[in-house]
Amino acid sequence: MNRYKELMARRNEIMKKAVRLDYDSYEFKAIGFDYERMMADTGYGLEEVRRIQAASGVGGTPLKELRNITALARKFAKPGCGARIFIKDEALNDSGSFKARRAALSCYHAKRLGYPGVITATSGNYGAAVASQAAKLGLKCIVVQECYDSKGIGQPEIIEKARACEAYGAEVVQLSVGPELFYTFLLLLEETGYFNASLYTPYAIQGIETLGWEIVHDSLRVAGKLPKAVVVTNAGGGNLTGTARGLRIATDEKIEVIAASVNLAGLHMASDIDFNRKSFTTGHTGFGMPFMTNPDRSDVPRSAARPLRYMDRYVTVNQGEVFFVTEMLASLEGIERGPAGNTSLAAAFALAQEYSQDDMIVVQETEYTGAGKHHQAQLAFAKTMGIDVRFGDPEEEIPGKSIVLPDSAGKIRAREYDLDRARRSLIRNATQRADFLTADDLDFLAAEVNRDREYVQEVLREINKKWEEN
């Protein structure tokens, strides 16, 4: 057996040691997984997490009303429509994104357990967040990052994030796109004995619960009401999962949770050719779709990010629309924030036109911007990669070939994705290796897709799976 296969054969053992969670203890029956017990077993309550985060410069970010953008949305809405749009300005966390909430609890826990350092594999803001929190706690930090294609060309946004990680004192291991990312990550975990500060542990998700909790309390304080909907940028699903759980902790009232991703249909995320043909490294369908329907594809045996449990709607927006809204936020509201974090704002601008003027919609996060993360830098890079960048009708945009900025704000659209399709796909994925399902398995699947047992049985009939009757 070569070294790669030998290491991969030990992957679960390595990951368990690096988190100190016995994932096997939560497994039951054919495919069942006691998700809620795993989340509860962290031992951290919401108030304790809030205290930990406050001590590390995280949380308590302002909820800001976008009056000018709301006024513009109302120009394209039917009479009486056009909900008030608010943003939770997460760029004001130390390290500049909501991911500081994840990192604060993960690094705190690593320190508490006596790990000498932390490791994370990410090309996004999470690397900077972990590096920042590790620096506060005196922990060593390694960030493993897919940075280049085979020609050594890297996206300016990823290069910017690597710079930020290094500024906080982290060691950044930069790789070209491909399967070596996970291999290198596992190898470093084993060699260093560091804590796996994964995006997908219960600690990472619990860290975001405070964000949902704050949205409820901030909305009541600032607007005197609860939001009708919260729009969440969706990639691996942790952002949505944690926010939705926090909303539920804070109130029993129904708040619609809407996921939003950038449409990158047709681009393969692990493709050397496609790597630099996209202008968004996160918050896009290349992560959003597969992680929604197969959440356990992550770097831990069982992911705590399970978005289909909490998602009411899923919409997509185009790259050009997000860049346009990024400029809109700066020019109309005087707030300059990074494009990826404005994915949900682009969706909210269109969605607000569906709701009454008496309603409020909260855009759940913003992210910092910087030299390489700035939308102009990203558009300039796209042009060097042969992407056609122009104004026009966003419906004409083809991911990997063009970026079409709308020539009118009225052309921004939130395109509905059929969640039933995703639910059926998750059930198929989850039952691939199971010939017979128990009643408990059915209840698990019902929770996974946020439907009843009868719905699950209907799908199982279609894919010729058998289950016990009770």
The CATH number linked to 219 is 3.40.50.1100
Residues 152, 174: contact at Cβ < 8 Å? no
pTM for the model stands at: 0.96
Beta bridge partners, 345, equal: none
Is residue 194 in some structural domain?
A: yes
Residues 359, 83: contact at Cβ < 8 Å? yes
Domain span including residue 455: 433-467
Within this chain, do residues 219 and 286 fall inside the same structural domain, yes or no? Answer: yes
Q: What pLDDT tens digit does each residue of the chain (470 aa) get?
A: 588 888 888 888 898 899 999 999 999 988 999 999 999 999 999 999 999 999 999 999 999 999 999 999 999 999 999 999 999 999 999 999 999 999 999 999 999 999 999 999 988 899 999 999 999 999 999 999 988 888 999 888 888 888 999 999 999 999 988 778 888 999 999 999 999 999 999 999 999 999 999 999 999 999 999 999 999 999 999 999 999 999 999 999 999 999 999 999 999 877 888 989 999 888 999 999 999 999 998 889 899 999 999 999 999 999 999 999 999 999 999 999 999 889 999 999 999 999 999 999 999 999 999 888 899 999 999 999 999 999 999 999 999 999 999 999 999 999 999 999 999 999 999 999 898 999 999 999 999 999 999 999 999 999 999 999 87
Neighbours of 451 (CB within 10 A): 18
Is residue 426 in some structural domain?
A: no
Q: Is 68 helix (H, G, I), strand (E, B) or coil?
A: helix
Is residue 456 in some structural domain?
A: yes
User: Given this model, what pLDDT does residue 119 score?
Assistant: 97
Within this chain, do residues 138 and 220 fall inside the same structural domain, yes or no? Answer: no
Is residue 364 in some structural domain?
A: yes
Within this chain, do residues 360 and 313 fall inside the same structural domain, yes or no? Answer: yes
Is residue 51 in some structural domain?
A: no
Instruction: Give the position of tokens 């619990």.
Output: 206
Is residue 55 in some structural domain?
A: no
The two tokens of residue 102 are 């994840």
Residues 280, 264: contact at Cβ < 8 Å? yes
Within this chain, do residues 74 and 191 fall inside the same structural domain, yes or no? Answer: no
Within this chain, do residues 339 and 238 fall inside the same structural domain, yes or no? Answer: yes
Within this chain, do residues 236 and 355 fall inside the same structural domain, yes or no? Answer: yes
Within this chain, do residues 239 and 330 fall inside the same structural domain, yes or no? Answer: yes
Instruction: Fill in the amino acid letter for 400.
Output: G
DSSP character string of 235-304: SSSHHHHHHHHHHHHH-SS--EEEEEEE--TT--TT-TTTTTS-S-SSSBHHHHHHHHH-GGGSSSSS-S
CA-nearest of 218, 318, 198 to 260 is 318
Q: What is the 3-class SS of 89-146, one letter each residue?
A: CHHHCCCCCCHHHHHHHHHHHHHHHCCCEEEEECCCHHHHHHHHHHHHHCCEEEEEEE
For the chain, how many structural domains are there in total?
A: 3
DSSP 8-state code for residue 374: S
Is residue 392 in some structural domain?
A: yes
Instruction: Give the position of tokens 């109309």.
Output: 332
Within this chain, do residues 454 and 337 fall inside the same structural domain, yes or no? Answer: no
Within this chain, do residues 278 and 383 fall inside the same structural domain, yes or no? Answer: yes
Instruction: Fill in the amino acid letter for 151.
Output: K
Is residue 444 in some structural domain?
A: yes
User: Given this model, what pLDDT does residue 7 score?
Assistant: 87
Name residues whose C-beta falls within 8 Å of residue 433's C-beta, 6 or more positions apart in sequence: 31
Q: Is 219 helix (H, G, I), strand (E, B) or coil?
A: helix
Within this chain, do residues 281 and 149 fall inside the same structural domain, yes or no? Answer: no
Name residues whose C-beta falls within 8 Å of residue 405's C-beta, 6 or more positions apart in sequence: 320, 321, 323, 324, 389, 390, 391, 392, 394
User: Given this model, what pLDDT does residue 1 score?
Assistant: 57
CA–CA distance, 89 with 61 (Å, rounded to integer): 6
Within this chain, do residues 401 and 458 fall inside the same structural domain, yes or no? Answer: no
Within this chain, do residues 150 and 260 fall inside the same structural domain, yes or no? Answer: no
